[in-house]
């Protein structure tokens, strides 16, 4: 519980039994991801019920993130696989035809209206590349840049093209309703091209779910400032991002996104291929361990496991090793110094930001064991986490949905309990919760921040130092 960086784990065939879900929670998972690209609602409903049962056993809130599939762009059918060679001419056509070595169906009219000569079409996770030479009403003439084997229904990417296509499909709307009805905490939006995609989802779900925007397209990187302003959290989705950007750009973009989110106080998740080799091996590569460590040093709120826990042979081992790497980095002598390098003040700080900054300063001067925040909406904890204080953040909320959402936030130990009624009650409830969670230490100070009058969101105006 005392890790600052959270672990987000994807559930799937390898990790869907109640027993495995409970062990994943005990091993350190803070938030569980339900991937709507796989399985049906009954599958995910059963997993969610198991998560809530595990939550009761481990005695701490567990978050649930529902990941929307988004539009799936795929080429058409082939009667059998074919090989296309670098330098060959190749056509993509709107008509439904059996593909061969000269052409393939591209059943997406929006691509024909948006592609321009000079753009690229990437197929099968970028393994094949085509340079667009001419665009007609029903035919796109290309030249093969990188050849290879082509077969039915392979996905394609258009890294230089903004498609006139909503990020939210009819399936996504149904899945979003499922997430609302079943009490999920976060909703991840795929295929984000512009800030308007985020606005569209906000109109659909309002503030009932936290919106995680997945940055996986170059156009989203171009609109990063506007998108992060609208999002509740951001995911660096390095899968498609790594297909559509040159590999040397991905680490730079990751760092930019993490820095921007830290500046704004938005939780940020680093995802995809973090411990990829552990799908089939019981230990990670040294490079993978270093990849997790880099995200922790950058100050990411969470790191995510995908196939490692969803379909891998060693889901529990993957979580336990990720937990160990995080703890080792956060205990390193230079961890705080490196974290401080990326700190920047809020653009338009208010009273709550000032109090949060004071908490960080107090924690650097006194042997504070915990910084506690009473919060209804979670905003106070987000302000405090943005400061990256030296102590654990005890997030006390009377709302269970708020406590669950805070499980994604850096440094926060979420606690669901009744709100304080007055100043004396505030101290009593903080002391009780901190002692119960092992965060209090006799004779050492705790810092408490809250808003008076109690129970009124947006009124953070009080900082108090107490001794249990």
Q: Does residue 339 or residue 411 have the better pLDDT? A: 411
Q: Which of 372, 41, 11, 358 is nearest to 178 (CA)?
A: 41
Handedness of CA 316, 318, 320, 326 (dihedral sign): negative
Residues 338/299, Cβ–Cβ less than 8 Å: no
The catalytically annotated residue of 74, 256, 328, 399 is 74
Task: Spot the catalytic one: 120, 214, 217, 266.
Answer: 214
What is the distance between the alpha carbons of residues 454 and 468, in angstroms, rounded to a whole number? Answer: 21
Q: Residue 227 carries which DSSP code?
A: H
Tokens of 63: 């978050």
Predicted confidence band of residue 1 (pLDDT cuts 50, 70, 90): low
Neighbours of 380 (CB within 10 A): 26
Q: State the catalytic residue, choosing from 3, 6, 33, 386.
A: 33
pLDDT number for residue 455: 72
User: What is d(CA 258, CA 302) in angstroms, rounded to the nearest whole number?
Assistant: 11
CATH class entry, domain 82-157: mainly beta
Give the Cα separation of 11 and 73 in Å (integer).
Answer: 24
* Average pLDDT taken over every residue of the chain: 96
Instruction: Enumerate the domain spans of the chain.
Output: 6-70+167-333, 82-157, 351-466
What span, in angstroms and rounded, lies between the C-alpha atoms of 408 and 306? Answer: 16
Rounded distance, CA 3 to CA 188, Å?
24
* Catalytic option among 10, 142, 228, 272: 272
> What digits encode the pLDDT tens for the residues 129-181?
999 999 999 999 999 999 999 999 999 999 999 999 999 999 999 999 999 99
Q: Which residue intervals of 299-374 are DSSP H helices?
A: 307-310, 315-330, 335-341, 351-365
Q: What is the CATH number of domain 6-70+167-333?
A: 3.20.20.60
Q: Please give the Cα distance from 313 to 278 (Å, whole number).
A: 8
Which tokens is 122 given? 């990437």
Tens of pLDDT, residue by residue over 427-445, are 999 999 999 999 999 999 9
Q: Assign domain 351-466 one CATH number from 2.60.40.1180, 3.40.50.1220, 3.40.1380.20, 3.90.550.10.
A: 3.40.1380.20
Q: Is 214 a catalytic residue?
A: yes
The more confident residue out of 33 and 421 is 33
CB 227 within 8 A of CB 198: yes
């Amino acid at each position: 519980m005392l890790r600052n960086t959270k672990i987000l784990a994807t559930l799937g065939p390898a990790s869907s039994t109640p027993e495995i879900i409970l062990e994943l929670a005990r091993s350190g998972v803070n938030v569980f991801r339900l991937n709507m690209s796989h399985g049906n609602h009954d599958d995910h409903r059963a997993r969610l019920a198991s998560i809530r049962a595990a939550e009761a056993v481990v005695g701490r809130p567990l978050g649930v993130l529902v990941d929307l599939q988004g539009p799936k762009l795929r080429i058409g059918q082939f009667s059998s696989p074919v090989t296309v060679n670098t330098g060959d001419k190749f056509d993509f056509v709107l008509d439904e035809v059996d593909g061969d070595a000269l052409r393939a169906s591209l059943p997406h009219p929006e691509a024909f209206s948006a592609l321009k000569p000079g753009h690229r079409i990437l197929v099968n996770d970028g393994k094949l590349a085509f340079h667009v030479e001419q665009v007609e009403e029903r035919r796109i003439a290309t030249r093969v840049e990188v050849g290879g084997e082509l077969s039915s229904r392979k996905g394609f990417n258009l890294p230089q093209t903004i498609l006139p296509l909503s990020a939210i499909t009819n399936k996504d709307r149904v899945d979003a309703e499922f997430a609302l009805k079943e009490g999920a905490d976060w909703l991840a939006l795929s295929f984000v091209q512009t800030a308007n995609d985020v606005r569209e989802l906000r109109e659909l779900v309002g503030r009932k779910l936290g919106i995680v925007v997945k940055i996986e397209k170059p156009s989203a990187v171009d609109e990063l400032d506007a998108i992060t302003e609208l999002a509740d959290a951001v995911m660096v989705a390095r899968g498609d991002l790594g297909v559509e950007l040159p590999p040397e750009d991905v680490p730079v973009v990751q760092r930019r996104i993490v820095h921007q989110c830290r500046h704004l106080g938005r939780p940020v998740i680093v995802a995809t291929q973090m411990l990829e080799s552990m799908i089939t091996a019981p230990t990670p590569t040294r490079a993978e361990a270093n990849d997790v460590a880099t995200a922790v040093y950058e100050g990411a709120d969470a790191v995510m496991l995908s196939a490692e826990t969803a379909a891998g042979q060693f889901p529990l081992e993957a979580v336990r090793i990720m937990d160990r790497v995080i703890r080792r980095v956060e205990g390193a002598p230079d961890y705080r110094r490196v974290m401080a390098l990326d700190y920047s003040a809020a653009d338009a700080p208010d009273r709550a930001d000032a109090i949060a900054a004071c908490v960080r300063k107090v924690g650097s001067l006194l042997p504070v064991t915990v910084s506690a925040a009473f919060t209804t909406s979670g905003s106070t904890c987000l302000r405090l986490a943005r400061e990256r204080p030296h102590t654990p953040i005890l997030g006390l909320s009377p709302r269970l949905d708020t406590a669950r959402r805070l499980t994604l936030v850096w440094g926060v130990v979420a606690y669901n309990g009744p709100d304080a009624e007055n100043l004396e009650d505030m101290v009593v409830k903080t002391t009780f919760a901190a002692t119960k969670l092992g965060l209090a230490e006799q004779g050492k100070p705790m810092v408490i921040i809250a808003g008076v009058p109690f129970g009124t969101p947006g009124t953070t105006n009080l900082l108090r130092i107490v001794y249990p």
